[in-house]
Structure 1
């Protein structure tokens, strides 16, 4: 088995075949930059030739950027056996690599094209000649190879034999319909490599049976030179193989050498989620929001005593951190891990009080975030440490065809302040008004980086809405955190989360002014009062 393997990411080509996904030129360029420059994948496939003028402009923009970085040779475009039209299209966009699509199964060749093997091979060779004459490097897809090999492997072998002398760098073997198992992939890939040892073979999986990542590992074990994947498993039907899953498995399970920088995998995932509108599941391996969260108290206890629930799939590899969830399954160790994060210490008596309140909230199906913990402590111990700001009155008005407006009255410490704002929706108007108040205090609001609303399934129009907002506070050293609000009105749920954010920001500002390293002093005072 090779000790190193290439990664080709086809998010911008095959991933764009996901239902309702279409990337703009700027979106494609930004994703390409992250994949090539930060994640450092070996190759990216970015488009299909002759789709549209806009697609050609997108390829040109990506190539122009990559050429300045010396990375343009890593950008590839799918082309077709069409008398040189794809070749001309790619050359006009400035591309340097064509991934030529040929028929890898006898059924496709005879039924879809209505041609014999020899006629098709002749046309493929002619397209390869046209491409190389114009300076393009050529890779070759054998479309539907998995079925072609299973149905009539002699067709595949004869086609390969006819193309052996052509200037083809990689032959790509797709499991086009995602029908293979790891055992079949390994056997077929080994057979191809042994029959054609001078050829570099790529494996291109699909995930229809949920076996894409396992099939990639089988292909790598068999000696594939490269494997294909997409960010967030995008792709037609059930998608391709996930870039993040492929990378960690090739490294951890097979010990292969990769050029990938894992610390940027989550960044790439978030960017693709934002541009595609397709969110990944919270439990998606590596990139999901919950995959480094321990919920059971016994797991937190084991980690506390000896990192018993840690593996080499650690969050730090991906610029993430381990989280210990708070809820009805929480134990003392879960609470201690979260107190440690905030640098808060509580007496045994008050730990039990706070834990009882957490379990009570969890039992009522309330979601509890780590950032809720200071407020739970304040509530249980009757501390005013996180009671710097209070919304006294608020009027939000929204009209069709007009900007929304908000008038607010806020108590900050002992001062009562008012402001108005207008914006694109009631919540935006509220934020504009609040920003005016905060600016007068010499502070600025954190940047909103994500906004989630959850309504219980089967809920009525008056059901409680839970709004969770993610913030990034540059003033406190690029601190990222979440706050939550619950209300029957979605806007006021978001306002509740924002007021909680304001209390945290004001608390951190007070700490900085006083030179206090933590909320410990205030908590100790609250404990004495309790």
Structure 2
């Protein structure tokens, strides 16, 4: 970021002296449809969040089940540095459950919007204020720190929202939370709302924004710009419906774009994201900011050339900042510099002619819609290196015939020491038929047997490259391996067999 942009940002922000991260992965994040964490899984995530350095961890909703109380107690016994929080409705029994879980901080809430008053709670404005105040006073009387949420704040009449905030603040609430329960805010609306609240209240303000329109992170960032003291977040943006503000997105925007370091060990973000993804079963999209597989992946030749010279040309931050790694993807848009860099990385040295053939093969695979992995590249390069050796036997043609109720037939044409030979054979499958034909053609040149055959799809999908590895031996006891890569499994098998046979033939003639 240029100095002018940095100064412009700071001039337009009203940052709080202290900004806190309130992580609710274990509570709101677990409310992601289809997600249910075990006690041990919650413990794993809590430990990692603590190691990351978040200020507060909402460990669950103790009143919802005995299991929630048990997991909260176990996490409490870990003696973590993060403040541990329990959720509670504005009911004494819910707050008792937080106390039973041995927690010291309660996040209590009640709906305040007309929709919640009329259709969910069926309570008057006065009754809701009374419940809210009673719960805050009850929690404070029992020694708890209290954060009060006016659920559905953003659809609540402003004067009534301020009225209930004033009442709970007078009752002793330590934080006032503003939930955008159905994610209707935009950054402009957020700016107006939070600025108004900050102008009217001295008590710390927290925000809890949902992502229904994809604006949770932008709105949380705007709230912090306007002086909000705390943001509720989840790892990977998990949560009800479309989720909550993403911890990694908010923290890294503050750190990278604004130079605001919240004291978190951000190098742990990628591994924590993967852990949460694995335990919840919610896989992140490859293009997920910060932690997605493609967050630091590059294919375009122009982009890769810039990245190789200076990563800042096409990256807003380094992958190492979040414990991620840069990935150069090979495909139809790849330039020569990217391929050369990859080959150097894997200590593969090709001459100019060999490189051109490998590069053309990668381009061809890319044009066919395939993304070429590192393993693909290595296999293609090794195959090209192998082809540079003397090859007494070369395949010149292959035709396969298969059908219902007919034995597969392979017609193979080989050039052996400059002489072309052709024959056809049947087999239990096309590969077997082709290998039988090769055996017939080479019987007067060398007698070999196949000792080992391994076939692997280097990458998934119907367009996967097939890599075949074989070991053949002659009857003098010599052994030689052979390897080949091709999108056609039959051709890959034949080329691997011929690679091995040619090595044995060269040994025989040495």
User: SS at 1:50's partner residue?
Assistant: helix
Say whether the 8 Å CA contact 2:136–2:146 is kept in structure 1. Answer: yes
Q: Which residue of 2 aligns with 1:60?
A: 73
1:179 to 178, 181, 184: 184
2:60 to 26, 41, 47: 47
Q: Does 1:155 align with 2:155?
A: no
Q: Which residue of 2 aligns with 1:409?
A: none
Alpha-carbon RMSD? 3.1
Q: Does 1:87 align with 2:95?
A: yes
CA distance 1:119–1:308, shift in 2 (3 Å): closer
Mapping for residues 98-497 of structure 1, pairs under 5 Å: 98-148=106-156, 152-196=157-201, 198-307=202-311, 309-382=313-386, 454-455=460-461
Q: What are the Cα deviations for residues 424-468 of structure 1, in whole angstroms up to 9, with x where unaligned? A: xxxxxx9xxxxxxxxxxxxxxxxxxxx99854xxxxxxx677899
Per the normalisation by structure 1, the TM-score is 0.70
User: SS at 1:343's partner residue?
Assistant: coil
User: SS at 1:121's partner residue?
Assistant: helix
Q: What are the Cα deviations for residues 127-173 of structure 1, in whole angstroms up to 9, with x where unaligned? A: 2222222222111011000111xxx2111111122223222111110
Return 238-247 or 249-258, whichever deviates more.
Answer: 249-258
Please report how far the alpha carbon of residue 300 of structure 1 lies from its aligned counterpart in structure 2 after TM superposition: 1.6
CA distance 1:221–1:75, shift in 2 (3 Å): same
CA distance 1:467–1:86, shift in 2 (3 Å): farther
Q: What are the Cα deviations for residues 307-326 of structure 1, in whole angstroms up to 9, with x where unaligned? A: 46343411121222222111
Say whether the 8 Å CA contact 2:296–2:315 is kept in structure 1. Answer: no
Q: Which residue of 1 aligns with 2:416?
A: none
Per the normalisation by structure 2, the TM-score is 0.73
Please report how far the alpha carbon of residue 487 of structure 1 lies from its aligned counterpart in structure 2 after TM superposition: 9.6
Alpha-carbon separation, structure 2, partners of 1:91 and 1:355: 65
Please report how far the alpha carbon of residue 115 of structure 1 lies from its aligned counterpart in structure 2 after TM superposition: 2.5
User: SS at 1:320's partner residue?
Assistant: coil
CA distance 1:256–1:467, shift in 2 (3 Å): farther
Q: Which residue of 2 aligns with 1:5?
A: 19
User: SS at 2:178's partner residue?
Assistant: strand
Aligned residues: 401
- Segments of structure 2 that go 5 or more residues without pairing to the other structure are 1-14, 390-448, 468-484, 494-510
Q: What are the Cα deviations for residues 355-390 of structure 1, in whole angstroms up to 9, with x where unaligned? A: 1111122223333211322211111121699xxxxx
Say whether the 8 Å CA contact 1:100–1:140 is kept in structure 2. Answer: yes
Q: Which residue of 1 aligns with 2:85?
A: 76
Alpha-carbon separation, structure 1, partners of 2:30 and 2:175: 23
Alpha-carbon separation, structure 2, partners of 1:467 and 1:36: 45
Say whether the 8 Å CA contact 1:175–1:206 is kept in structure 2. Answer: yes
User: SS at 1:142's partner residue?
Assistant: strand
Return 301-310 or 158-167, whichever deviates more.
Answer: 301-310
Q: What are the Cα deviations for residues 304-353 of structure 1, in whole angstroms up to 9, with x where unaligned? A: 34546343411121222222111122111111221232233333332212
Larger radius of gyration: 2
Alpha-carbon separation, structure 1, partners of 2:164 and 2:269: 38
